[in-house]
Amino acid sequence: MNKHLSIISRILVAFASGALIAVFLLPAWRIDLFAPQYPEGLSMYIWINKLSGDVEIINGLNHYIGMKHISAEMFPEFKYLTYVVIFFMALGMTAAITGKRKILLIYIIATIIGGLLVLYDLYRWGYDYGHNLDPKAAIQVPGLSYQPPVLGHKRLLNFDAYSFPDAAGWIVIGAGTLCILVWLTEWYINRKKRKT
Amino acid sequence: MKIFQPKKWQYLFITAFAFFLLESCKPKGTQSAAGGDATKAYVAPGKYDEFYNFVSGGFSGQMSVYGLPSGRLLRVIPVFSTDPEKGWGFSEETKPMLNTSHGFVPWDDAHHPELSQTNGEVDGRWVFINGNNTPRIARIDLKTFRTAEIIEIPNSAGNHSSAFVTENTEYVVAGTRFSIPPDDANGDVPIDSYKQNFKGNVSFLSVDPKEGHMKIAFQIRTPGVNFDLSHAGKGNSHGWFFFSCYNSEQANTLLEVNASQRDKDFIMAVNWKKAEEYLKAGKGRKQAVRYAHNIYSDKTHSATSTIETEITVLDSKELADMVYLIPCPKSPHGCDVDPTGEYIVGSGKLAALMPVYSFTKIQKAIADKAFDGDYEGIPVIKYEAALHGEVQKPGLGPLHTEFDANGNAYTSMFVSSEVVKWNVKSLEVLDRVPTYYSIGHLMVPGGDSKKPFGKYLVAYNKITKDRYLPTGPELTQSAQLYDISGDKMKLILDFPTIGEPHYAQAAPAELINKNSLKFFKIEENENPYAAKGEGQAKVTREGNKVHVYMTSIRSHFNPDNIEGVKVGDEVYFHVTNLEQDWDVPHGFSVKGANNAELLIMPGETQTLKWVPEKSGMFPFYCTDFCSALHQEMQGYIRVSPRGSNVALEYSTGKTPAPSAAKEPAK
């Protein structure tokens, strides 16, 4: 069995892991809120190390329901995510340079686990913000929580909330998918070779 | 019964028939004109209008902004008159805007808005408008739709032929309606010494191309006539300015008769490039005057008023080749230049025809010295030598002309209540359409620029009579929108206006709305009394002055409990709106305040002065419905008697301990 990647596969893997640099330049995730009095929408952009967009306006609105003030300092993730991404880029590059299929497989599995952890983390923070409300809040609807959707759409009082990957997020997803396709192609070709 | 006697019956029938005949002979009025093409003026809910229409408020002193073609009122911009709704002229920051050499003047009569131009086309940066009574010119910034600057005009009374601009907004002009003794002369003279002592003048105010700041570059001293309207030359006539004048009889009483005697008055042509040369060559005379110059800053969110003390005067009698007079029949009102700059239309409001002058012919007449003598030292060009031709029998009482992009002119006829469309070159009348009633000015979007946008024409009427539901003795004034895209003008909409509309301007919406500011950035707020965060909220005392540095954000003030204020203190509420979001103003009002409310835009600081005259409890609250908890946005200020020992304290959100209830002041 050939344990090495073809030169084309190695270039593609190098390209995919290099593309991760996008997360330093573009936001990874976005949450959009629309309400009758906000027809233009309010957007919060989540980067790997900061927040941007209408965070202060959203905070202003959230105080009615007693939600905690959202600020970048509250998220320890912002401190170490940069290193995590650098690690992933290095791992991908190692796979490309050495051309070892096994390292690519480790890279892919790590990416999938990483992605799932990100979604879990989003859920955890969303849960925390949506449930741990100030008991003195002006607006209190018994039994209602304000947890934003992890992915997709959810109605929160007068707001339609949408949560989706932003540009860098899509690039990461694209890069991961590319690596998986490379690995599958390699696997398929090798299987054929072994049969013949 | 008697009534069925044949004779009586016949008599009744004849009477009824006579009534019927009389009815059908009466002119067809409002009813026959109803049925405008409403679909053309219809702008669906939620859709934007195609044009912004800036309409003078006349005796309201303000300027209104309408959308066209819907005729929907978007905003009333306070200019020369106080506006308690917006705190304009009531807040400490805006009071200096209404300062003049006569002190605080809280009202004026605003007639002629003019959009700034670049290369002869409207550029959507500023609107200038004149204050007629206490002569002033205001500049309104179209980023904020607020008055940014007001400058007073010395040696003037009734700044009527204003505020028109040159094709690159090099200058905005003023022209005095009343001639008066100059400001540095003794004005305490017999009124019938008019001919010796009274002088006219026109002013050229340079406009800083970046900031828009105005400066009186020079005034031209003229004979004592009344200046009415004006317009700048453009294209090949760029460098010239044309002013209509009446009362060349120089009457000082009963002008309706005495100023209507001469067969012809004048259009005054000013070569302002020549005036610039004279100014540069030091031919001007410095004159000591006093006039206020008020500027509002969007950084400090406050205005400054400076009294300026000098202007330069160029004398039309002494300086040759700078000013010429062109005879124009019967007390001309409008003085309008077509988009090419070649044709100048004079509207003699008492004349049965309208002269159209040719700029090329005027230049030739000057070169050939085709003069008909002079008027107080100013050469009078021969009427025929300047004339392109006359529009014969246009209608009665021609007042004002605007243009479309296809070589047509539209003139308002005050006396015959109609708009007349005619061809500028052929002078042939093409169409006429009634107005309801007594049209003053009219307006085509871009209609006094090099690039008219055409499509619509708006008539601004003085009398509405039966057009709207009556509202007692004072009826609404009105505007009427016509579709001028076809050969025939078609009335499509009536809408009421604020005050009395005179001139107006319009520009395509996209030229302006893309620059419209959403809010002021709090970090750029340089008001010395700003509290740029709740942490900066405080109350300080300096002698009997109490400064409250207050913040407002949905939905509370900080502080909202204030104690230790005493009767006779001057309390200054400096309220900063901490919001950084579009369309979230907060208001501020306190019980018994003798001035007005504040209306504070996001990121802005405004100050209300309040002098409590009796002790007690005074609530204050937010007046602009800001949020679901708006009704909770309130506070109290406790006022104690003079000499009381209640300490100055302030807080927000402090809940008292059950036993800590304080005693009333003794």
Domain that holds residue A23: 7-195
Which residues in A lie closer than 8 A to residue B627 (C-beta atoms)?
Answer: 64
User: CB within 8 A of B28, min separation 6: which ones?
Assistant: none
- Nearest by Cα to B27 from B342, B417, B320: B417
Residue A2 within any structural domain of the chain = no
Residue B29 within any structural domain of the chain = no
Q: Cβ of B553 and A56 within 8 Å?
A: no
Name residues 561-580 of chain B within 8 A of A (Cβ): 579-580
The verdict on ipTM greater than 0.90 is no
Residue B595 within any structural domain of the chain = yes
Taken in order A106, A111, A114, A119, the sign of the CA dihedral is negative
For residue B241, give Cα distances in angstroms to B39, B161, B167, B223: 41, 11, 10, 17
Which chain A residue has the Cα nearest residue B580?
A: A57
Q: Domain ends where: B517, B552, B584?
A: B517
Q: What is the pLDDT of residue B32?
A: 46
Does residue B640 sit in the same domain as residue B599? Answer: yes
Q: What is the pLDDT of residue B1?
A: 42
Strands (E), B414-511: 418-423, 429-434, 439-443, 456-461, 477-483, 490-497, 504-508
Q: Domain ends where: B318, B341, B367?
A: B318
Q: Chain A interface, mutation test: which of B516, B627, B655, most A Cβ atoms within 10 Å? A: B627
The pLDDT tens digits of the residues spanning A35-63 come to 998 998 999 999 999 999 999 899 988 88
Establish whether the linkage from the previous residue to B559 is cis, with ω within 30° of 0: yes
- Nearest by Cα to B460 from B34, B59, B56, B30: B56
B326: exposed, middle or buried (C-beta count within 10 Å: 0-12, 13-18, 19+)? buried
Does residue B507 sit in the same domain as residue B550? Answer: no
Identify residues of A whose CB sits under 8 angstroms from chain B CBs.
40, 54, 56-57, 60, 63-64, 138-139
Which residues in B lie closer than 8 A to residue A54 (C-beta atoms)?
Answer: 581
Interface A-B, measured as beta-carbon pairs within 8 A, has a size of 17
Which residues in A lie closer than 8 A to residue B580 (C-beta atoms)?
Answer: 56-57
Q: What is the pLDDT of residue B28?
A: 54
Question: How far is it, in rounded angstroms, from Cα B181 to Cα B286?
Answer: 16
The tokens 């060009």 sit on which residue? B381
Strands (E), B109-191: 114-118, 121-131, 136-141, 146-152, 171-175
Mean pLDDT estimate for chain A: 90
Structure tokens at B440: 């003053």
Does residue B426 sit in the same domain as residue B544? Answer: no
| Coil/strand/helix, residue A45 | strand
Does residue B510 sit in the same domain as residue B544? Answer: no
Question: How far is it, in rounded angstroms, from Cα B147 to Cα B500?
Answer: 19
Residue A101 within any structural domain of the chain = yes
Which residues in A lie closer than 8 A to residue B629 (C-beta atoms)?
Answer: 64, 138
Q: Cβ of A57 and B580 within 8 Å?
A: yes
Does residue B464 sit in the same domain as residue B605? Answer: no
Contact by Cβ (8 Å): B350, B333: no
Which residues in A lie closer than 8 A to residue B577 (C-beta atoms)?
Answer: none
Residue B277 within any structural domain of the chain = no
Structure tokens at B616: 């007690």
Q: What is the pLDDT of residue B659?
A: 56
By Cβ distance, the residue of B580, B629, B632 closest to A56 is B580
**How many domains, chain A?**
1
Q: Chain B interface, mutation test: which of A63, A65, A134, most B Cβ atoms within 10 Å? A: A63
Does residue B100 sit in the same domain as residue B218? Answer: yes
Q: Cβ of B580 and A138 within 8 Å?
A: no
Q: Cβ of A60 and B581 within 8 Å?
A: yes
Inform me whether the C-beta atom of residue B314 falls under 8 Å from chain A C-beta atoms. no
Which chain B residue has the Cα nearest residue A57?
A: B581
Residue B212 within any structural domain of the chain = yes
Residue B33 within any structural domain of the chain = no
Q: What is the pLDDT of residue B14?
A: 53
- β-pairing, B51-56 with B504-508? antiparallel
Shortest alpha-carbon distance between residue A130 and chain B (Å): 20
- Nearest by Cα to B130 from B102, B101, B159: B159
Residue A14 within any structural domain of the chain = yes
Q: Chain B interface, mutation test: which of A54, A57, A140, most B Cβ atoms within 10 Å? A: A57
Residue A43 within any structural domain of the chain = yes
Q: Cβ of A60 and B579 within 8 Å?
A: yes
Which residues in B lie closer than 8 A to residue A66 (C-beta atoms)?
Answer: none
Inform me whether the C-beta atom of residue B533 falls under 8 Å from chain A C-beta atoms. no
Shortest alpha-carbon distance between residue A91 and chain B (Å): 43
B291: exposed, middle or buried (C-beta count within 10 Å: 0-12, 13-18, 19+)? buried
Residue B303 within any structural domain of the chain = yes
Buried b (16+ CB within 10 A) or exposed e, B85-121: ebbbbbbbbbbbbbbbeeeebebbbbbbbbbbbeebb
Structure tokens at B122: 């409207």
Residue A1 within any structural domain of the chain = no
Does residue B116 sit in the same domain as residue B208? Answer: yes
Does residue B468 sit in the same domain as residue B492? Answer: yes
Output the domain CATH number for residue B123. 2.130.10.10
Q: Cβ of B581 and A139 within 8 Å?
A: no
Q: Domain ends where: B517, B541, B566?
A: B517
By Cβ distance, the residue of A40, A54, A60 closest to B554 is A60
Inform me whether the C-beta atom of residue B628 falls under 8 Å from chain A C-beta atoms. yes
Residue B448 within any structural domain of the chain = yes
B255: enclosing H helix or E strand: helix B255-258
Q: Cβ of B628 and A56 within 8 Å?
A: no
Residue A41 within any structural domain of the chain = yes
Residue A180 within any structural domain of the chain = yes
Does residue B539 sit in the same domain as residue B513? Answer: no
**How many domains, chain B?**
3
Sheet of B200-207, strand order: B114-118, B121-131, B136-141, B146-152, B285-297, B302-315, B214-222, B200-207, B171-175
Q: Cβ of B628 and A139 within 8 Å?
A: yes
Residue A136 within any structural domain of the chain = yes
Residue B328 within any structural domain of the chain = no
Shortest alpha-carbon distance between residue B581 and chain A (Å): 7
Alpha-helical segments (H) within B468-618: 509-513
Output the domain CATH number for residue B587. 2.60.40.420
Q: Cβ of B629 and A64 within 8 Å?
A: yes
Inform me whether the C-beta atom of residue B534 falls under 8 Å from chain A C-beta atoms. no
Question: How far is it, in rounded angstroms, from Cα A189 to Cα A168?
Answer: 31
Domain that holds residue B583: 531-651
Contact by Cβ (8 Å): B563, B541: no
Q: How crowded is residue B50: how many other Cβ atoms within 10 Å of its Cβ?
A: 18
Does residue B549 sit in the same domain as residue B647? Answer: yes
Give the pLDDT band (50/70/90) at residue A137: confident
By Cβ distance, the residue of B580, B582, B629 closest to A138 is B629
Does residue B88 sit in the same domain as residue B169? Answer: yes
Does residue B488 sit in the same domain as residue B564? Answer: no
Write out residues in chain B with pLDDT < 70, as ranges. Answer: 1-36, 657-666
